[in-house]
A and B are shown apart, each in its own frame.
Chain A
Amino acid sequence: MGDHELHPTDEAAAERGRAIVQAAVAQTRAPLALRERIEADRTARRPARRRWALGGSLATGAIAAIVAVVLAVGGGAGTAPTVAQAAALARLGPTASAPAVDPAHPGLLRRSVEGVTYPSWQDQFTWKASGAREDKLDGRRAVTVFYDDPAHARIGYTIVAGKALDEPSGPGRWQGSEHYVVLKRGQRTIVTWRRGGHTCVLSGPASVPSERLLALASWSGTEVS
């Protein structure tokens, strides 16, 4: 991306972007604290006849710190993908056929990511595997298996390869040794947990209650043999 001429038709988008950033900053402690630091420094250093008052080294440090915060919170180049990114895959739809049920283990599908196997819910919960897709998130493999219920609601179960992602904040629940976090993102409900050292994400439409997603998430499929 380089510098471009300004287009009047983009003004509305730019204004909307400014408002979006302003709202996000207002929600976030660290950038606000750094802003206050800059303001304090600006006030303290303002000489009577010199308008340029911001100390260069402090400002440079503060900007670097804010950029670091942005990268840490938002996930910049070279950082791990986020649960939100993994959950977004479920909205993209399948690109491959559904994995088959493992005949030796009817509670499992014949698809896994680094040892974590997708469950088959069709007997226990009437959700049937309907498709799959495979993506890369920051170079890491993320496999999503889609399940449909008889009412044609569709949910996506994503497992991200590699080290577990940072757990987002949100209401959680312990079930056995696993901690499940429930999040709302737009019209979607997301449940995330760790299994076998990997992050698992279940994302469904608002029509599927979070309790149902939790029940599905906590059923590993190994209960049936």
Chain B
Amino acid sequence: MPEDYEPVDQRTSLRPEEAMEAHEVFEVIARLAPDFRDALVAVDVAGLSYREAAKLLGAKEATITSRLFRARGQVAGGMDRARSGVLEEKG
């Protein structure tokens, strides 16, 4: 990443601690298993419907629902661990 890289969440109105929190959430999302991450990004970040996400990702709607449910739970758990100072290291 170049030195002059501008963070995506750099907003003038954003307090540093808020920027860190958004960054932490994306950090947790980035660490999800790819299938879970893609389902969550498609629906919760991109705003697609379950049907659209299923078609796009080549999975059944029920599978997307399940992956999304698990991914959201893992994000909540990941944030809890991040805030309590427990570091998730990649293997």
Q: What 0/1 pattern do residues 17 to 58 of B give for CB contact below 8 A with A?
A: 111111111111111110111101110111110011001100
Residues in B with CB closer than 8 Å to A22 are: 44
Q: Is the CB of B75 within 8 A of A39?
A: no
Query: Does more than half of chain A's interface fall in helix, strand or loop, or is it mixed?
Result: helix
Cβ contact of A25, chosen from B18, B44, B69, cutoff 8 A: B44
Number of A interface residues in the complex (CB < 8 A): 68
Q: Which of B37, B56, B72 has the most CB of A within 10 A?
A: B72
Residues in B with CB closer than 8 Å to A18 are: 44, 72
Residues in B with CB closer than 8 Å to A20 are: 25, 75-76, 79
Binds B, one of A109-117, A118-126, A146-154, A178-186: A178-186
Cβ contact of B31, chosen from A74, A135, A184, cutoff 8 A: A74
Query: Does more than half of chain B's interface fall in helix, strand or loop, or is it mixed?
Result: helix
Given known pairs A21-B75, A185-B20, the reply for A137 and B89 (CB within 8 Å) is yes
A198 is an interface residue with CB less than 8 A from chain B: no
Residues in A with CB closer than 8 Å to B42 are: 63
Given known pairs A28-B9, A59-B56, A73-B8, the reply for A17 and B24 (CB within 8 Å) is no
Q: Is the CB of B29 within 8 A of A168?
A: no
| Bound complex: CA A63 to CA B64 (Å) | 15
Closest to B57 in A: A63
Besides A59-B56, A92-B85, A92-B87, 20 new A-B residue pairs in contact (Cβ under 8 A), listed by A number: A1-B32, A10-B70, A13-B76, A14-B73, A16-B72, A21-B40, A21-B45, A29-B11, A30-B8, A35-B45, A63-B46, A70-B41, A71-B30, A72-B1, A73-B30, A74-B23, A74-B27, A75-B27, A168-B23, A185-B20
Binding site for B on A (CB under 8 A): 1-6, 10, 13-18, 20-25, 27-31, 34-35, 38-39, 52, 54, 56, 59-60, 62-63, 66-67, 69-77, 80, 82, 84-85, 88-89, 91-92, 135-138, 166, 168-171, 182-186
Binding site for A on B (CB under 8 A): 1, 5, 7-11, 14, 16-33, 35-38, 40-42, 44-48, 51-52, 55-56, 63, 66-67, 69-77, 79, 82-83, 85-87, 89-90
